[in-house]
Structure formats: structure tokens, C-alpha cells
Amino acid sequence: MTLDLRVEILRAARGWIGTPYRHQSSVRGQGADCLGLLRGVWREVLGQEPEAVPSYTADWSEPSGQERLWRAAGRHLCLVPITPDAAGDVVLFRMRSRAVAKHLAILGDGSQGFKTIIHAYSGAGVVETALTDAWARRIVAQFEFPDRRG
């Protein structure tokens, strides 16, 4: 991914900070969940979303054990090695051992003096927080946005 695209992604993602948490929503300033943030950044930087998002529950197919979020990310993003220094990349988290991966974030650029993630979660909305060891050890995959700009 080019440096210009990384800068655009971070600018767009930071524009969502303060958006309240709303399950299945993707409207900057009004509501977003973690996937909604990613979808909104995609629209702002790359244009139309690549596929319609089906309705999903907050448990992200935990009862069935299907890695639906991981598969969807693999269809539209580029899988890369896990390197938490790659600002603008998307990281996928497994919140519990043997549970499905069900949380997404965009890696920050370290401009605050430490590694960060930009993400949305219940009770906080869209925030930029430290990529602590607790978060880092839950990363199971990392993806780049494709460079499909005009």
C-alpha cells in the first residue's frame, strides 16, 4: 500500500472519532460499530463498498463457529503479515481463545508516541486507543486496503 493511501485512510478514520457506537451502523457522526467504521473509511477513500453487508448479530456467528468476518475481509482486503507498525492497515482480533475473530481496527501511525488502533466498540464509540499488549496478543490477521482509487 502506498504512503499516500495510508495517510488518506488514517485521515478518514480519525474523522470518525467521536461517532457513537451503533450496532450495524456506518454513518459518521451518527453511529458505527467496528465494521461500520471500516465500511465508512472504505467509502470515503475508495468509493462504493464492494458488496452489500448482510445483517449480523453482535456475536458474529459465535454459535456456529464460522469465521464470517475473516472470510469477508479476505475477499476485499489484502492479507499481509502481522506487523503492528503498518499504519492504515486493518487488524482482526479474536477476543477469546477458540472464539471466532469478531473485532476490527485500523492501525494508527504512532504520532502520539505509542502504537494505537482506531476502532468502535460498545460504550465508547469510535476512539483511538493504545495498542496495548492485551490488544496486540489478540490480533489474528492483518490486511491492507487495496489501492483502487480513481
Q: Give, for all 150 residues of the chain, the pLDDT tens digit.
A: 898 999 999 999 999 999 999 999 999 999 999 999 999 999 999 999 999 988 877 765 566 778 888 999 999 999 999 998 899 999 999 988 888 898 999 999 988 889 999 999 999 999 999 999 999 999 999 999 998 755
Distance CA 9, CA 68 (A): 24
Query: What contacts 120, CB < 8 A, 6 or more positions away?
Result: 16, 19, 21, 32, 33, 34, 36, 37, 126, 127
Tell me which residue of 12, 19, 82, 21 sits closest to 41, measured CA to CA: 12
Going along the chain from its start, the domains and CATH numbers come out as 3-144 (3.90.1720.10)
